[in-house]
Amino acid sequence: MALSKKAVHFGAGNIGRGFVGQFLSASGFEVVFADVDDAVVRALGEQRTYRVHEVGGDARVHTVTDYRAVNNRTDESAVVAEIATADVVTTSVGPRILPSLAPAIARGLAERPAALGPLVVIACETAIGATASLAAAVAQIAPIDNAVFANCVIDRIVPEQTPGLDVAIESFSEWIVESGPFFGRTDHPEIAGVSWVTDLAPFIDRKLFTVNTAHAAAAYYGYGRGLTSIRESLADPVVHAEVLAVLDQTKALLVAKHGFDEDEQQAYIGRNLERISNPWLPDTTGRVGRNPLSKLSRHERLVGPAAQLAERGLPFDALVRAIRAALDFDVPDDVESRELQSLLTSGAPVELLTETLTGVYAGHPLFASLVSAVADKLAASRVTA
């Protein structure tokens, strides 16, 4: 029997298949994966089921069925047709790729029958306001009156995988979606694993400035010390001390900004350090540290909290040290890593490099410390050249 609900999910990678797609399937949606990887699209077309393995203390296996796949690079018309008749569109493609989805979504909305009601769009990306930025990109092409765009925060660790469609993933998951955009428009969809909240901002900051900040700091410090895994990095006394120092400062920000209870936030820190050290989810410093330009951007996990702490007159030195560690990340098979090192060797003035890399400009209370970090990196590079 055909399913009555349909979701189009952009990005059939590990998060797409193992987290978002699995929850959508469990909620009774037919899932149409849209991806640009010919091999993945072909495998999803040939293999009618795949398994999601939750590993750790509460190990379970979920079998995912009722999905199809289309190639949104070579067959955009097919993707547009799917969007036009979908109930939900979700994404997990990465913040830099997200704007490229706007034309297909705009066309799908333009072709959408009025009787279907608003299309729900949720961008499941590790970036603040990802859905809002996607909505803005779509609105530049076509009206979006027949869609509801809702921001969310997602949290689930997916380590490097073996080839194939099956996904290993931690048992813990958090998918929080703002409910405000639905008021007066339509009911929000029933999706397993989703918590709906009226104010998403505290949860975005808590996750980004705890989980992602800890992960990034452990990756960059560990990589700089020649350590391969995140677990190994956090077992190193020097790295562990620096990660704790960073999280102590982000805790101060979260308590001051959102009123989180200090003891509860400390417990949240402890739980998440256990998660990223999970022996069942071995993860590498090279994978976690990838895309350093995105991770060093103005509102992201390192520069974002440092800037807000500086504006409040609170200590931020540990975060600046972590930013300095990120500048040493040099992994040839990571595009942003190569771009980072190319920028640092471009010969541009240190102040311009600082502004380009971090989005923080002269006059901001964090700027001078960031300039010093970048200058230290340039000096170290000249010594080792």
Q: Within a 10 A sphere around the Cβ of 4, how many other Cβ atoms?
A: 9
- Within 8 A by CB and 6+ apart from 179, the residues are 150, 188, 196, 197, 198
Q: Which residues pair with 5 in a beta bridge?
A: 29
| pLDDT tens digits, 94-137 | 998 999 999 999 999 999 999 999 999 999 997 889 999 999 99
Query: Tell me: domain 5-198, CATH 2.130.10.10, correct?
Result: no
| pLDDT tens digits, 193-220 | 999 999 999 998 999 999 999 999 999 9
| Residue 305 confidence (pLDDT) above 70 | yes
What CA–CA distance (Å, rounded) separates 76 from 41?
Answer: 14
By percentage, how much of the chain surpasses pLDDT 90? 88
Joined together, the tokens standing for residue 247 give 């999280």
Please spell the DSSP secondary structure of 298-343, one letter per residue: TTSTTHHHHHHHHHHT---HHHHHHHHHHTT---TT-HHHHHHHHH
Reported as a pLDDT band with limits 50, 70 and 90, residue 1 is: very low
| Residue 369 confidence (pLDDT) above 90 | yes
What CA–CA distance (Å, rounded) separates 281 from 62?
Answer: 17
Nearest one of 18, 333, 11 to 164, comparing CA atoms: 18
For residue 205, what are the CA distances in angstroms to 162, 264, 307, 314? Answer: 32, 15, 13, 17
The CATH 3.40.50.720 domain(s) of the chain lie at: 5-198
What does the pLDDT average to over 338-352?
A: 96
Confidence at residue 2, expressed as pLDDT on a 0 to 100 scale: 57
What CA–CA distance (Å, rounded) separates 17 from 11?
Answer: 8
| Residue 385 confidence (pLDDT) above 70 | no
The CATH classification number of 205-384 equals: 1.10.1040.10
Average pLDDT score over the chain? 94
| Residue 171 confidence (pLDDT) above 60 | yes
The CATH 1.10.1040.10 domain(s) of the chain lie at: 205-384
What does the pLDDT average to over 152-172?
A: 88
Is-contact 230 285, C-beta < 8 A? yes
What CA–CA distance (Å, rounded) separates 163 from 184?
Answer: 45
SS3 (DSSP) at 272: helix
Strands of 159-242, DSSP E: 167-170, 174-178, 194-197
- Within 8 A by CB and 6+ apart from 363, the residues are none
Is-contact 17 40, C-beta < 8 A? no
What CA–CA distance (Å, rounded) separates 240 from 101?
Answer: 39
Is-contact 217 250, C-beta < 8 A? no
For residue 112, the 8-state DSSP code is -
What CA–CA distance (Å, rounded) separates 62 from 196?
Answer: 24
Beta strand 67-71 with 29-35 is parallel
Among 112-121, 123-132, 303-312, 341-350, name the one with the lowest average pLDDT.
123-132
Please spell the DSSP secondary structure of 49-83, one letter per residue: -EEEEEESTT-EEEEE-SEEEEETTT-HHHHHHHH
Is-contact 30 6, C-beta < 8 A? yes
Confidence at residue 158, expressed as pLDDT on a 0 to 100 scale: 81
Joined together, the tokens standing for residue 296 give 């060093």
Residue 171 or 83, more confident: 83
Residue 280 or 155, more confident: 155
